[in-house]
């Protein structure tokens, strides 16, 4: 039971940044915008978070800086795709490259500087429960935040008028505009929310997962988060399942290597990304080549003047 508990705890740790980033991107895509720059926003959040935490000595300020950095990069993306109606795929790729390069500059003075990670929050009495206590009620704040994000985003999209309007902008932006809804403003807010989530996921990487800075520490998790959104069919609770599936696979390959399984370590390390490709191919074939995503996903909107 102790071994199982340890494995579940490591799976939760590996899955949390994927879930936070995927939930943010899910909201962006439900609004009709495809942002491929999640990796760049995550890595810039990780760099800004650790740099601020080390400089100020405050983890809270580090988290705030990471969220702000992700939102600033998202604002740049919004200026391109909303203000200038630029191609969303090209702009997102440029954002990812910019984030990777800029994070290296920000994090260069802090390479190898370790900092004490953010501790866990134990729920009184419940944390003492056998097995379930340490798993559900003795986690760090980011894990609790990821649970709240899933529930909150599900409730917002499915149960509120604002969520309905946001989904309308993703399904038919022309009709939403004709009804008087500010499509560009709604998409801007969605993009900023996605940037905040990506920055928060980056803060988790540098302040909890590995509390120090190293270049490229996100390791492609932003791209996996994008795949999780498609895997989840743009539904929050499925995104949670997908994040834990991919996170579990990451931990599985680590345990397999530690157990001496006679499989090349390079193949095991590539397994989560290979699964990403396989899952996407299977989903597209199951849907006969068409994803059940928002109808206006990736299509620029220019209001009539």
Residue 94 in any domain: the answer is: yes
Nearest to 221 by CA among 207, 201, 203: 201
The residue range of the domain holding 215 is 15-222
Secondary structure, 3-state, 221-247: HHHHHHHHHHHCCCCHHHHHHHHHHHH
Residue 302 lies in a domain: no
Domain membership flag for residue 52: yes
Q: What is the pLDDT of residue 210?
A: 87
Is residue 100 in a domain?
yes
Q: What angle do CA 236, 159, 286 make, to 5 degrees?
A: 40
The count of other CB atoms within 10 Å of the CB of residue 302 is: 10
Distance CA 18, CA 201 (A): 7
111-170 residue pLDDT tens:
878 888 788 888 888 888 888 888 888 899 999 999 999 999 999 999 999 999 999 999
Position 73 in a domain: yes
Whether 174 is in a domain gets the answer yes
Residue 234 lies in a domain: no
Calculate ∠ Cα 59-225-254, nearest 5°. Answer: 80
What's the pLDDT tens digit per position in 192-209? 999 999 999 999 999 999
- Give, for all 305 residues of the chain, the pLDDT tens digit: 577 888 888 899 999 999 999 999 999 999 999 999 999 999 999 999 999 999 999 999 999 999 999 999 999 999 999 999 999 999 999 999 999 999 999 999 998 788 887 888 888 888 888 888 888 888 999 999 999 999 999 999 999 999 999 999 999 999 999 999 999 999 999 999 999 999 999 999 999 998 889 888 998 899 999 989 988 889 999 999 999 988 888 787 777 766 666 777 677 777 777 777 777 677 666 655 455 689 999 999 988 75
pLDDT at position 283: 66
State the residue for tokens 């206590």.
133
Whether 19 contacts 11, CB under 8 Å: no
Distance between alpha carbon 109 and the CA centroid of its chain, in Å?
26
pLDDT of residue 106: 94
Domain count across the chain: 1
Does 37 fall in a domain?
A: yes
Check if the beta carbon of residue 39 is closer than 8 Å to that of residue 223.
Answer: yes
* C-alpha to C-alpha distance for 66 and 223, rounded to whole angstroms: 19
- Determine the Cα–Cα distance for residues 102 and 93; give it in Å rounded to an integer: 14
The tokens describing 302, both together, are: 């220019």
Sign of CA dihedral 273, 274, 276, 280: positive
- Residues ≥6 apart with Cβ < 8 Å to 80: 86, 91
């Amino acid at each position: 039971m102790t071994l199982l508990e340890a494995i579940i705890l490591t799976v939760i740790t590996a899955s949390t940044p994927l879930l936070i980033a995927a939930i943010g991107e899910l909201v962006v895509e439900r609004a009709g915008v495809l942002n491929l720059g999640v990796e760049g926003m995550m890595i810039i959040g990780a760099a800004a978070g650790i740099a601020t935490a080390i400089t100020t000595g405050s983890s809270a300020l580090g988290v705030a800086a990471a969220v702000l950095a992700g939102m600033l990069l998202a604002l740049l993306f919004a200026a391109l795709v909303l203000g200038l109606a630029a191609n969303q795929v090209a702009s997102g790729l440029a954002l990812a490259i910019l984030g990777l390069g800029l994070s290296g500059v920000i994090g260069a003075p802090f390479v190898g500087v370790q900092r004490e990670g953010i501790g866990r929050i134990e729920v009184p009495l419940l944390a003492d429960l056998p097995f379930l206590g340490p798993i559900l009620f003795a986690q760090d704040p980011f894990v609790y935040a990821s649970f709240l994000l899933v529930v909150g985003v599900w409730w917002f999209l499915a149960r509120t008028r604002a969520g309905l309007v946001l989904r309308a902008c993703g399904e038919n932006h022309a009709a939403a505009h004709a009804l008087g809804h500010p499509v560009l403003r709604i998409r801007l807010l969605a993009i900023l929310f996605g940037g905040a989530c990506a920055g928060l996921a980056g803060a988790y990487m540098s302040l909890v997962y590995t509390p120090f800075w190293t270049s490229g520490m996100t390791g492609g998790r932003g791209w996996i988060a994008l795949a999780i959104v498609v895997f989840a069919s743009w539904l929050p609770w499925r995104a949670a399942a997908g994040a834990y599936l991919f996170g579990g696979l990451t931990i599985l390959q680590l345990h397999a290597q530690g157990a001496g399984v006679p499989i090349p370590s390079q193949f095991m390390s590539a397994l989560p990304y290979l699964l990403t490709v396989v899952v996407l191919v299977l989903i597209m074939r199951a849907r006969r080549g068409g994803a059940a995503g928002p109808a206006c996903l990736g299509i620029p909107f220019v209001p009539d003047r």
